[in-house]
Amino acid sequence: MHSDPVASRSAEHRDSRESRNGSTPHLDAVSLAIIEQLQEDGRRPYAAIGKAVGLSEAAVRQRVQKLLDQGVMQIVAVTDPLTVGFRRQAMVGINVEGDVESVADALSAMPEVEYVVMTAGSFDVLAEIVCEDDDHLLDVINKRMRAVPGVRSTESFVYLKLKKQTYMWGTR
């Protein structure tokens, strides 16, 4: 048998069964390790990943495809829209009366909204928006977002400068 940098394979399988999260199931240590590799470089070859996690090239490929199909992970190019230019960006904190999730869904449906998260604290929902310019920003916040049923109030934080943006939660 080849060396196994992560752990015993069969043990992983048993672990993955006892996922108490009903929605998105089963992420064993090997898949975690694969995701970590792709967090460092989304274009890393499958063979190199396989060597790092102790799997064949084909097995890595099948796992990655499955993770993508399930929506657990996506491999994409990320930028700073402000650096790329000509756009206004903001985080909007929202207070909701009634069903929070339906408001979050309505916000998620808007193309200018890149990021929506339900939170505990003095806001019920946080939404990040990317706009063409100030007029567009004003339109999205004051017309469209405030018009969503259940939105009680909003507070905006216009982005001045992005200082850090990483995806390295795995590698610590």
* 58 CB-near residues (< 8 Å, 6+ apart): 46
Shortest Å distance, C-beta 76 to DNA: 15
CA-to-CA distance for 82 and 98, rounded, in angstroms?
Answer: 35
Q: 48-65 burial, b for 16+ CB within 10 Å, e for fewer?
A: ebbbbbbbeeebbeebbe
Q: Which of 8, 40, 47, 157 binds DNA (CB under 7 A)?
A: 47
Binding site for a copy of itself (CB under 8 A): 19, 21, 23-24, 27, 32, 35, 38-43, 72-79, 81, 83-85, 87, 90-91, 93, 101, 104-105, 107-108, 111-123, 126, 130, 155-169, 172
Q: Which listed option, a copy of itself, DNA, none, makes contact with residue 23 (CB within 5 to 8 Å by class)?
A: a copy of itself
Nearer to DNA, 17 or 163 (CB): 17
Instruction: Specify the residue, 104 or 148, whose C-beta has the smaller distance to a copy of itself.
Output: 104
Q: List Cα–Cα distances, 143 to 3, 59, 111, 126, 146, in angstroms.
A: 59, 49, 14, 17, 6
